[in-house]
């Protein structure tokens, strides 16, 4: 029998709100347009990186944009997506498609040339006592840097890179693969603005970070094994993440239809 596993996204989801984590495992929430746009950029980045391992050249900007938009269209065509409250159904998908193209072009111009990939979408599998850790590293380059591509609506803080569980998981995977620590871990962010900007947040990971990760994995695994799914603390205030949660309308811990405008 295969041992259960956890990914960085599952750990973060459980820590954000165990009840939302439980609901999503039972019935996956459709992604928002912003998530789909970001996924399109990620798809293009992966395709570019895979061919660059051998070619040492980035794809043309038009090709990167086409890849990102094609990934966006594929998801929209599946009808498995949702609008955020207040987003107009008539125009929001078109604007998100345009945003995908704009961010993909910015990524190609500002971020892609900075790295020579060695591994792209590299799978990591770290054995654990009760749960294995699995994940896919966006990029590992020839300077030993572990890179996580992000798209965002605003600038991030340095503390987000320093505390990001995903980067810790990927750094641990790098150490398991190579026997060495990564030279650095990087959140490389395209910020969605009228004129998109790039932000690079550089951090490091080491044994103390890995020890903290083990403690985090253990407590999350123990909660799941015990069926412990309390609400996010914001269920008492109506703030984020409750305010944007897909399940807020019928969450047993709050009257979401009274607190939040669910939109149409």
Q: Tell me if 32 sits within 8 A of 40, measured CB to CB.
A: no
Q: What is the pTM of this model?
A: 0.93
User: In the chain, which residues have pLDDT < 50?
Assistant: 1, 262-264
Read off the pLDDT of residues 146-183 as tens digits, 9 standing for 90 and up: 999 999 999 999 999 999 999 999 999 999 999 999 99
Q: Is 153 helix (H, G, I), strand (E, B) or coil?
A: coil
Measured over the CA atoms of residue 81, residue 98, residue 35 and residue 58, the dihedral's sign is: positive
| DSSP class of 146 | E
Q: Where are the domains of the chain?
A: 1-27+116-244, 31-114
Q: What are the phi and psi torsion angles at 18 (to 5°)?
A: -55, -35
User: Would you state the pLDDT for residue 261?
Assistant: 57
Is 1-27+116-244 in CATH node 3.90.320.10?
Answer: yes
User: Would you state the pLDDT for residue 1?
Assistant: 46
User: Would you state the pLDDT for residue 263?
Assistant: 46
User: Would you state the pLDDT for residue 2?
Assistant: 66
At 133, which helix (H) or strand (E)? strand 132-141
User: Would you state the pLDDT for residue 128?
Assistant: 79
CA distance 21 to 126: 22
How many helices (H) and strands (E) the chain has is answered by: 9, 6
Helices (H), 56-164: 61-77, 92-110, 158-163
CA distance 83 to 87: 6
Residue 217: both structure tokens together: 């994995």
């Amino acid at each position: 029998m295969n041992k259960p596993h956890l990914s960085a996204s599952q750990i973060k989801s459980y820590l954000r709100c165990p009840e939302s984590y439980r609901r999503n495992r039972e019935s996956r929430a459709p992604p928002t347009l912003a998530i789909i746009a970001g996924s399109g950029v990620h798809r293009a980045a992966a395709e570019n990186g895979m061919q660059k391992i051998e070619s040492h050249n980035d794809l043309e900007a038009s090709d990167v944009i086409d890849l990102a938009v094609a990934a966006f269209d594929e998801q929209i065509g599946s009808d498995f997506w949702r609008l955020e409250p207040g987003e107009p159904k008539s125009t929001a998908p078109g604007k998100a498609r345009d945003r995908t193209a704009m961010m993909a072009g910015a990524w190609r111009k500002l971020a892609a040339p900075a790295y020579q990939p060695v591994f792209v979408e590299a799978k990591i599998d770290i054995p654990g006592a009760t749960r294995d850790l699995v994940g896919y590293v966006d990029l590992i380059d020839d300077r030993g840097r572990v890179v996580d591509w992000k798209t965002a609506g605003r600038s991030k803080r340095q503390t987000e890179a320093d505390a990001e569980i995903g980067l810790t998981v990927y750094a641990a995977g790098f150490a398991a693969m190579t026997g060495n620590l990564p030279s650095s871990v990087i959140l490389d962010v395209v910020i969605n603005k009228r004129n998109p900007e790039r932000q690079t947040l550089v951090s490091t990971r080491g044994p103390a970070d890995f020890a903290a990760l083990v403690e985090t994995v253990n407590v999350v695994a123990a909660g799941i094994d015990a069926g412990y799914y309390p609400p996010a603390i914001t269920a008492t205030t109506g703030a984020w993440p409750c305010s944007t949660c897909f399940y807020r309308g019928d969450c047993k811990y709050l009257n979401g239809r009274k607190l939040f405008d669910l939109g149409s």
